[in-house]
Chains A and B, each alone.
Chain A
Amino acid sequence: MAEPGLGIRIQGLHKRYGTGDTAVEALKGVDLAVAPGEVVGLIGPSGSGKSTLLKCLGAVVEPTGGRMTLGSDLIYHDGWRIPDLRALRRDKIGFVFQAPYLIPFLNVTDNVALLPMLAGRPNREARAAARELLAALDVAHRAAAMPSQLSGGEQQRVAIARALINRPPVILADEPTAPLDSERALAVIRILNRMARQYATAVIVVTHDEKIIPTFQRIYQIRDGRTHEEAGLGRMLE
């Protein structure tokens, strides 16, 4: 269990869409905590509220109540406590998507280095940091390639590098293994675990993928807008 004030911690998070009779309560008091260096699974049937929770965690949808702490920062408490959500997403949250969504007109290095470049870091410095991450993810040999020249697994590793480039305290991974076969899917989870430990990042993996569910030490199952914590098997990692 995460220590309060570290990683990410959510208490009593609510999200309601619409008003009056047509209002839909998507999240009904979600509690969740992930420690730095920990990878947890978030599973649940379609319509259970997984995506809504991810959007709230990603600061692209505003909850209607509750409390969220990221690292030592309180970011939501019955209202956003951070004025610049764009900067919050850029500096504090890493995203890995179902498809890698790499920028097709940038090579691998620049895809990873883009965020710090846009934040004003010198290009040379940003590219050096990107190359270091690519080496850690075993894709340094594709640094000059364009995304269309990479395999699915390589693209996903580049996407993970992009998510890590700003050393965020949390990474949100939305079905990151969906398009991959078992071997590559497990490789991605191994990488996420390694990176989480190496960079002390809390990782939340939303997934339906039966192949990877047994790999988590802890799992949050979301049903009817509420989370239920379960112990995972953590098989692959042992």
Chain B
Amino acid sequence: MISLAGRDILHASGKFIFTGVGLGLLIGVTLSMAGIYRGMVDDADTLLDNSGADLWVVQQDTLGPYAESSSLYDDLYRGILTVPGVAQAANVTYLTMQVGEGARERRAMVVGVVPGGPDAPGQPQHLVAGRHLTRGHYEAVADLMTGLRLGEQVRIRRNQYRVVGLTRRTVSSGGDPMVFIPLKDAQEAQFLKDNDAIIHQRRRTAANPAFNRPGQPGTLEAVLASQTVNPSVNAVLVRLDPHADPDQVAGEIRRWKRLTVHTRAEMNEILQAKLIATSARQIFMFLVILSVVSAAIVAFIIYTLTLGKIREIAVLKLIGTRNRTIAGMIMQQAVGLGIIGFMVGKIAATLWAPIFPKYVLLLPGDAVRGFLIVVVICVLASLVAIRAALRVDPAEAIGG
């Protein structure tokens, strides 16, 4: 059986290829949008994986360190360590801020962790170069996306930190790369006031008769000292014993310590259902709009091509061609256009994904689903043209 659609596509290959490329770029944008969503979900999973925690202990009635601000006293972890089933507990702070200076300034999530090896919760799990934090001050481990190099100095607030290690795929839920620094430095960076504010606070404290009583000279010094120390962290990351039940341990901590505890599943839910839900809906809307636009383009092109062949279609019908042969020809052309478009789109999306500032994850499953959707859209889009072709009266081929 001869393929009329294939012959027509070959005959008008230039027209089909140009239209296919245009459609393909649109499909490429659609695949990239899906890739951006997948990247956000993967970033969220990676964020949880990299924390190395089974439980996140945060301020009561908050959603934890990634979705809401949370403040805990930094000595709480000792009490948590006594709960049965807890293997390790470590303080952690998270603060998204500008790091570096001048032309090298960039946005990053500064993570304060207790110096130690990769086994401690909160530490970057895998380094690609250098070593983990071992000293209490002025060292940093940075994600490769920050552009920092081993041995380079980076300024965070007032202090300079030397990059002693590099890691990869450690990003916040917003896609910002992470910079790990010692916990004490991070606490200082998070809550540090500028010099003028410190001087004004000291003056006000000294002027307060309640703190500066004659005959009690030690009171003022004690109050001023307490004001310069920051005992807060954002969360305590808990790693459990191998056979401990996360829900049971979380329940114990909630009951005795009056804190909010999130398990891995709950934290996943917070990140995906709350933190990136709006972005996901936004992307979904884009996907719907792009699909409609693609369908409209295919429908318009196929309809125009069909109208250009009305006389030939009338002749085909007059000489006895079945309606289903004509409908098949138009539908195959639409699907052919979709296949050209999908191939161009897939190649384009793969080529431009690495230059996106945020992680774009192109999954083979999404490509397969995308291909099927493109085929369905093309089939539906061809219906308008098929309807026009089938309404052609074969008598139109006979003049008069």
Residues of A within 8 A of B (CB): 50-52, 54-55, 58, 60-61, 86-91, 95, 97-98, 101, 103-106, 110, 113-115, 117-120, 123, 146, 162, 174-175
Contact = CB atoms under 8 A, between A and B. Distances in A.
A121 to B, nearest CB: 10
Contacts of A51: 398-400
Count class of interface residues, chain B: 20 to 34
A105 B399 contact: no
Interface of B: 1-2, 4, 7-8, 10-12, 311-312, 315-322, 325, 393-395, 397-400
B320 A115 contact: yes
B7 A118 contact: no
B12 A103 contact: no
Given A51-B398, A58-B398, A118-B325, 20 more contacts: A51-B399, A54-B400, A86-B317, A86-B321, A89-B394, A95-B318, A101-B315, A103-B312, A105-B10, A105-B11, A106-B2, A106-B7, A113-B2, A118-B1, A118-B321, A119-B320, A123-B1, A123-B2, A162-B319, A175-B399
B394 A98 contact: no
Contact of A97 (B7, B8, B317, B397): B397
B123 to A, nearest CB: 66
- State the 5 A-B residue pairs at the shortest beta-carbon distance, nearest first: A90-B320, A51-B400, A105-B11, A60-B395, A105-B8
A162 B320 CA distance: 12
A61 B397 CA distance: 12
A48 to B, nearest CB: 10
A52 to B, nearest CB: 8
Contacts of B322: 86, 118
Given A118-B322, A123-B2, A103 B398 contact: no
Nearest to B317: A86
A54 B319 contact: no
A174 B312 contact: no
Contacts of A162: 319
Given A114-B2, A118-B325, A175-B399, A60 B319 contact: no
Contacts of A119: 320
A110 B315 contact: no
Given A54-B400, A60-B318, A104 B2 contact: no
A159 to B, nearest CB: 10
A51 B395 CA distance: 9
Contacts of B12: 105
B395 A101 contact: no
Given A50-B400, A105-B11, A123-B2, A87 B320 contact: yes
Contacts of A174: 398-400
Interface SS, B side: helix
Interface SS, A side: helix
B312 A89 contact: no
A174 B321 CA distance: 20
Interface centre among B318, B320, B399, B400 (most CB of A within 10 A): B320
B340 to A, nearest CB: 17
A51 B7 CA distance: 33
Nearest to B325: A118
Contacts of A90: 319-321
Contacts of B8: 105
B264 to A, nearest CB: 60
A118 B11 CA distance: 20
B320 A91 contact: yes
A89 B320 contact: yes
A120 B2 CA distance: 10
B395 to A, nearest CB: 4
A203 to B, nearest CB: 16
Nearest to B9: A105
Interface centre among A88, A95, A110 (most CB of B within 10 A): A95
Given A50-B400, A55-B398, A97-B399, A105 B7 contact: yes
Interface centre among B10, B325, B393, B395 (most CB of A within 10 A): B395
Contacts of A113: 2
A103 B394 CA distance: 15
Given A60-B394, A97-B398, A110 B320 contact: no
B291 to A, nearest CB: 30
Nearest to B11: A105
Contact of B315 (A50, A54, A91, A97): A97
Nearest to A87: B320
7 contacts: A58-B318, A86-B317, A91-B320, A110-B2, A118-B325, A123-B2, A174-B400
A195 B281 CA distance: 70
A95 B399 contact: no
Contact of B11 (A55, A61, A86, A104): A104
Contact of B397 (A101, A105, A106): A101
B328 to A, nearest CB: 11
